[in-house]
Each structure stands twice: as C-alpha cells, then as structure tokens.
Amino acid sequence: MQNQKKKVDYEALNSPLMRIPRMNVETARNLMDIGVKDIFQLQGRAPEALFEDALSRTITIPPDRIRYFKMAVYYAEHSDPDKSKLHPDAWIQV
C-alpha cells in the first residue's frame, strides 16, 4: 500500500484567520465555510452560534473545537488581548 500525502488546505492556511495566535487550520476552514474570511468579521458574533453554523455544514467537527471559536472571537474583539486567553485550553468550559 502506498503512503498517501495528506492534503493541505492552502486557502485556509494562508487566510487572515491564521494570524490569530494558536489558531488551527481546521478551525480556519470551518469559519471560512460559513462565510467568515477575516478576523474583523468575528466581532460581535456569538462563538456558540458560529459553531452551530459550522456544525450544520460539517457534522464531523469535534465538540471541543468550540474553544477555538471562543478564542477567535475574543481575539477579534480586543485590541490588546490578554495573552493568557490566547490559547484554546483557556476556553475549556468558559
């Protein structure tokens, strides 16, 4: 059996969303799939609603990915974000 190369999502990898510290490519793709192409578009949005929209398009999203959505919205809404909140683990059960 041949080893298959993993497909790389270059569009998501090169998106402005990847400027969010510790953002992963899969979450960037989920956000892009629901129409969020830039960080400013996250301002004023509910992370839970964004996650539900993403789930309606891709049912294979792991439930713990909500923490990336919360972190992304926090980053978008704060010009000087608290560095301790710029890690997905900071958003577990918040």
45 has pLDDT over 60: yes
Token pair 């972190």 in the structure block, residue: 71
CA distance 53 to 84: 27
Mean pLDDT value of segment 24-52: 96
39 has pLDDT over 80: yes
93 has pLDDT over 80: no
CA distance 75 to 45: 12
Q: Are 32 and 60 in contact (CB under 8 A)?
A: no
Q: What is the pLDDT of residue 58?
A: 86
Using the CB atoms, write b or e for 41-57: b if 16+ within 10 Å: ebeebebeebbebbbee
In the chain the domains, ranked by start, together with CATH numbers, are 11-91 (1.10.150)
pLDDT single digits (tens) 70-87:
999 999 999 999 999 999
CA distance 3 to 73: 38
Q: What is the pLDDT of residue 4?
A: 66
